[in-house]
Amino acid sequence: MNLEEAIVGRYSCRAYLDRPVPRGVIEKILDTARWSPSGANLQPWQVAVVQGETKERLSGALVETFERGEKPAPDYPYYPKEWPEPYRSRRFQCGMALYQALEIERDDKARRLEAWKENYRFFGAPVALFFFVDRVMEQGAWLDMGMFVQSVMLAARDQGLESCPQASVADYPEVVRQVLGMDDDKRLLCGLSLGYPDPDHPVNNYRTDREPVESFTKWFE
């Protein structure tokens, strides 16, 4: 797989095979991703690899918190409070593509809620990664973290794995920190489901569009 194939072929995998990922493979992925760039080489990334009984316990705690109706309290606002165009339409189209792949009607609120809870179950992936950054770090470090997470996803593809980056599992950072025993001085940025993809599941066989280069690029010569 060349670099272009790794980038263009990446997708948010939401169905995984019941196949464990060897620790050595995860270590190889992280060993590759650690060469990501960062301002002043600060390397602000901190990763929690969650598997097995701990993953099941954390998943149960997140689902329970959601079912209680507890409002999300992320460590930072991921999305805008209001959705201007073109972001409103892109968000709508993204959601519709997912629900169509799952054959869930727009007015079927019960199935939509069940589908959302799959986020907290990591879509059945055997591995969940959580990305933290020290609270003392400013937003420049978040840019570094984004590059690191992308490196993790591409390195995973090189190992025959797929992934799904998840802001959703950062909705309840206190739950995550409590189950994992993480200190409050670390801000939770996002999670990542990781595993061997189920190629036959419909949810893995649709793709979202991307805007053409000319729509987001200005040339100055």
pLDDT at 213: 97
In this predicted structure, what is the pLDDT of residue 157? 98
Q: What is the DSSP string of 167-206?
A: SGGGS-HHHHHHHHT--TTEEEEEEEEEE-B-TTSGGGS-
Instruction: Give 129's strand partners.
Output: 49, 192
- How far apart CA 203 and CA 124 sit, in angstroms, is 13
Per-residue pLDDT of 17-69, as tens digits, reads: 999 999 999 999 999 999 999 999 999 999 999 999 999 999 999 999 999 99
Average pLDDT over residues 197-220: 96
Spatial separation of the C-alpha atoms in residues 122 and 190, rounded to whole Å: 12
Segment 120-124 long-range contacts (CB within 8 Å, at least 24 positions apart): 120/59, 120/62, 120/63, 120/66, 120/168, 120/169, 121/59, 121/63, 122/55, 122/59, 122/166, 122/169, 122/191, 122/193, 123/13, 123/14, 123/15, 123/16, 123/164, 123/193, 124/15, 124/16, 124/18, 124/195
- Given a cut of 90, whether residue 1 has pLDDT beyond it is no
Q: What are the structural domains, with CATH classification, of the chain?
A: 9-77+120-207 (3.40.109.10)
At residue 106, the pLDDT reads: 83
- Residue 111 predicted with pLDDT over 90: yes
Give the model's pLDDT for residue 107: 86
Q: Tell me how far CA of residue 185 lies from CA of 31, 144, 175, in angstroms.
A: 25, 18, 15
Alpha helices in the chain (DSSP H): 3-8, 23-33, 52-67, 87-101, 109-120, 139-158, 173-180, 213-216
Average per-residue pLDDT for the chain = 96
Q: Given this model, what pLDDT does residue 132 score?
A: 98
Structure tokens at 60: 């149960």
Give the CA distances from residue 163 to residues 23, 59, 160, 193, in Å, rounded to whole numbers and listed in that order.
16, 17, 10, 5
Q: What is this structure's pTM?
A: 0.95
CA distances from 17 to 30, 175, 176, 182, 214 (A): 21, 27, 24, 29, 38
pLDDT, tens digit (0-9, with 9 covering 90-100), for 155-186: 999 999 999 999 999 999 999 999 999 999 99
Q: How much of the chain exceeds pLDDT 90, in percent?
A: 93
